[in-house]
Amino acid sequence: MTMQLKEAPNSMKSLKGRDFLTLGDYKQEEINYLLELAEQLKVKRKAGQEEATLKGKTLGMIFEKASTRTRVSFEAGIYQLGGNGIFLSTKDLQIGRGEPIADTAKVLSGYLDGIMIRTFSQETVQELAANASIPVINGLTDLYHPCQVLADLLTIKEQKGVLEGVNITYIGDGNNMANSLMIGAGLMGMNLTVCAPDGYLPMKEEIDKAKQLTAISGGKIVVESDPNEAVQDTDIVYTDVWASMGQEKEQQQRIEAFHHYQVTTELLSLAKPDVSFMHCLPAHRGEEVDAAVIDGKQSVVFQQAENRLHAQKALMSSIMK
């Protein structure tokens, strides 16, 4: 029996044509709708019942940063929805030779139905969106990684059955993952503890943004320096690499700073018995996480990675329709 995708309620039809630059641009009900649609699309994918909801649509994918999961999930996703994806390296585009972002946005708007960009500066993404007449998706910047957290929310919902009230502990650098997790947790009524050494916590401005969201959702954002305290009574332990792309020169300095922040089996044992381990990948086994953890039975990192596909298909089918 073929399952029909649920029709979007009128309140959700406003997603058409919207940009996705940060999770904070969306309401809780809109994220819930995207997650519900992602669940349906995942079931249909497993049953071999793909729907060509974006037949004839083309997504341009601009990459200034290298990628595995972002490129393959978006390219496969648009294809599975009946559309086409075009890989656009900044080394090949004229923006790599100095053409203004605004000009590129206007030109691509005449050719494409949507743009996904993975780059360094959030300002680049914002300028692209401000000048494009088609939806722009933030595939990653140094400030935010909203597509990853959309997939993370889907994974947590699958693991725990709910989002509201779930306790998450993020141990590691206060980077784009920490920023987007704070927004996601604050938006969805979750309790997030961010644990990092002094000098590596998220910016106060990002913490304050997330706390403003919890005032509406009922969630909680906490900053902690002791990993042993941070994991107490948590449902999810999440980590990321200590040195992100572009920070390679700081690698040794960061290894020393984060030495006591590795997620080990001993640390995981202090959390709830049914704790799940998450990592956005790629991972450095033996640095931020012990191999026994990431390859262990409590790890859901490959479920997480797969969910990039389903969450992004829900996003594309909603804003590019």
Domains delineated in the chain: 23-144+308-320 (3.40.50.1370), 148-304 (3.40.50.1370)
Task: Tell me whether residue 145 is annotated as binding.
Answer: yes
Measured N-to-C along each axis, helices 28-46 and 146-160 cross at an angle, to the nearest 10 degrees, of: 70
Task: Tell me whether residue 285 is annotated as binding.
Answer: no
Residue 306 has a pLDDT of 98
Q: Using one digit for the tens of pLDDT, what is the confidence trace for 194-225?
A: 999 999 999 999 999 999 999 999 999 999 99
Residue 96 has a pLDDT of 80
Residue 294 has a pLDDT of 98
Contact (Cβ atoms closer than 8 angstroms) between residue 127 and residue 162: no
Please list the active-site residues.
Answer: 118, 145, 148, 240, 280, 308
- In the chain, % of residues over pLDDT 70: 96
What's the whole-number mean pLDDT along residues 287-307? 98
Residue 41 has a pLDDT of 97
The DSSP annotation for 106-135 comes to HHHHTT-SEEEEE-S-HHHHHHHHHH-SS-
What's the whole-number mean pLDDT along residues 264-291? 97
Continuous segment of H or E residues that includes residue 267: helix 265-268
Q: Specify which residues 239 forms β-bridges with.
A: 171, 279
- In whole angstroms, what is the distance from residue 118 CA to residue 104 CA? 15
Query: Mean pLDDT, the chain, as a whole number?
Result: 95
Q: Using one digit for the tens of pLDDT, what is the confidence trace for 2-40?
A: 556 656 666 667 899 999 999 999 999 999 999 999 999
Say whether 18 sits in a helix, a strand or coil: coil
Q: How far is CA 102 from CA 95, 122, 263, in A?
A: 10, 14, 43
Task: Tell me whether residue 175 is annotated as binding.
Answer: no
Task: Tell me whether residue 118 is annotated as binding.
Answer: yes
Residue 145, pLDDT > 60, answer yes
The pTM for the full model equals: 0.95
Task: Tell me whether residue 176 is annotated as binding.
Answer: yes
